[in-house]
C-alpha cells in the first residue's frame, strides 16, 4: 500500500526562466525519515541524478535511488519585500546551481526556518505548492499544526496537498483526522481523503479502508473508492478480505 510513500512525489519542474532577484539560502534539520529530494535528468525510463537548477531547466524533482542523504535540508527562497515569491527545498547533499545571486544565511534552527517560510505568499499555485513541500519536510509540531490549518482553510488544491503531506508526516495517526473531515468534505477532496488513508503504513492502511467499506453510514461513492484502493493493495490481508467477500457472493 504505502510502501515508501514519500517516494510518490515526482514533480515536473518548469523550464521557464525567473527574474534575476537574489535567492536566500539556508540549511535546517529535516524530518529523520525523509528521503533525499533532489533533481535528475530523464533518459528514457531512467532518471540520472543532476544538479538542481534554481532558475529553470530541471527535468524532474523527487526521490531517486542512490541519492546521498545528509540529515538536513537546504532551503532557497526569494522575496518581493515581505512576500515569499519562490521557494525550493533539497537534501543538504544535493548539488544546486543558480544563475541569479545567492546569499547564504548559514544554519537556521527549525523555528527560524519556518518563520521565514510562513511569510505571505502570492496567489501563484506554484509558490503555494512549493511552500507546502518545504514546510512538510521540517520536523516538529509547528509544521504539523500549520499543515492542519491549511488543510481546513486553504483553496482546494492547497487543501489536497496539505492532506497528502499530513498523511506522510503522521502515518496511522492521520486516520482520526481524515474520518473527522470526511462528513463535511466536498467534491474531489472527499475522494482524496480516502487516498490519504490508503497511504498509511501497514496494517493501518488496510484496516482503515476495510472499516470504511464496511461502514454503512458512509455513502456508496466513498465506500467504492475505499474498495478501489483496497484492491490496489499488495497486502495479503486485503486479498484475503476480498476473497471472503467474493466467496460469500457466489450462488
Stretches where the chain sits below pLDDT 70 are 1-20, 44-45, 59, 65-66, 247-251
Can you list the pairs that 97-100 forms with residues at least 24 positions away whose Cβ atoms lie under 8 Å? 97/51, 97/52, 97/53, 97/54, 98/23, 98/53, 98/54, 98/55, 99/20, 99/54, 99/55, 100/18, 100/19, 100/20, 100/21, 100/22, 100/23, 100/54, 100/55
What's the pTM? 0.85
Q: What is the pLDDT of residue 12?
A: 42
Q: What is the pLDDT of residue 28?
A: 97
Q: What is the pLDDT of residue 6?
A: 54
Residue 29 and residue 141 in contact, taking contact as beta carbons nearer than 8 Å? no
CB-count burial class (<10 Å; 0-12, 13-18, 19+) for 211: middle
Q: What is the pLDDT of residue 34?
A: 74
Amino acid at each position: 500500500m504505502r510502501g515508501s510513500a514519500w517516494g510518490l512525489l515526482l514533480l515536473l519542474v518548469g523550464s521557464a526562466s525567473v527574474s534575476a532577484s537574489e535567492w536566500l539560502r539556508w540549511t535546517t534539520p529535516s524530518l529523520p525519515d525523509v528521503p533525499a529530494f533532489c533533481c535528475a535528468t530523464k533518459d528514457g525510463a531512467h532518471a540520472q541524478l543532476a544538479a538542481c537548477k534554481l532558475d529553470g531547466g530541471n527535468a524532474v524533482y523527487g526521490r531517486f535511488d542512490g541519492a546521498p542523504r545528509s540529515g538536513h535540508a537546504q532551503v532557497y527562497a526569494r522575496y518581493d519585500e515581505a512576500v515569499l515569491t519562490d521557494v525550493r527545498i533539497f537534501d543538504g547533499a544535493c548539488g544546486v546551481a543558480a544563475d541569479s545571486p545567492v546569499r547564504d544565511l548559514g544554519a537556521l534552527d527549525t523555528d527560524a526556518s519556518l518563520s521565514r517560510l510562513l511569510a505571505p505568499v502570492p496567489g501563484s499555485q506554484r509558490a503555494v505548492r512549493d511552500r507546502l513541500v518545504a514546510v512538510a519536510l521540517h520536523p516538529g509540531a509547528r509544521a504539523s499544526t500549520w499543515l492542519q490549518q491549511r488543510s481546513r482553510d486553504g483553496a482546494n488544491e492547497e487543501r489536497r496537498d496539505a492532506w497528502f503531506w499530513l498523511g506522510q508526516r503522521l502515518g496511522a495517526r492521520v486516520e482520526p483526522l481524515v474520518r473527522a473531515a470526511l462528513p463535511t468534505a466536498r467534491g474531489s477532496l472527499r475522494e482524496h481523503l480516502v487516498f490519504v488513508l490508503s497511504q498509511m503504513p501497514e496494517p493501518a492502511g488496510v484496516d482503515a479502508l476495510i472499516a470504511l467499506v464496511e461502514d454503512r453510514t458512509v455513502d456508496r461513492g466513498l465506500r467504492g473508492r475505499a474498495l478501489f484502493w483496497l484492491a490496489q493493495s499488495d497486502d495479503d490481508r486485503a486479498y484475503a478480505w476480498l476473497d471472503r467477500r467474493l466467496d460469500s457472493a457466489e450462488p
